[in-house]
Structure 1
Amino acid sequence: MPNSDDHARTSARLTTYGCLAGLALALIAVFGFPLWIFLAFQFGSR
């Protein structure tokens, strides 16, 4: 049954991409927010 195997492979790929996207968003949130706050203070103090 190549159809169900193909479906399983597709969902596994989607799950992998979903996990990678989640990790990337988490990294952007962790590193991006302090940087954004720092830049806001830098430009706000002038």
Structure 2
Amino acid sequence: TLRKSLQTTSTLSATSKLCFEQPVTSFLVCSLIFIEYKKALFKKYML
């Protein structure tokens, strides 16, 4: 599990690095994720 957490950490750091390097792209991606997340939550609570 330690290796997995390290992998997750490296992924997070890579993602944050990407966010700083390409703010516009990351903003669009984050918006899409947020919209999908809200849709999933909405479905969950409506059922």
Give the TM-score normalised by the residue count of structure 2: 0.53
Are 1:27 and 2:46 counterparts? Answer: no
How many correspondences in the alignment? 27
CA RMSD of aligned residues (A): 1.4
- Runs of 4+ deviating beyond 3 Å: none
**Shift, 1:20, TM fit:** 0.2
For the pair shown, the structure with the greater C-alpha radius of gyration is 1
Aligned to 1:14: 30
Q: TM-score, normalised by structure 1?
A: 0.55
Higher relative contact order by CA 8 Å / sep ≥ 6: 1 or 2?
Answer: 2
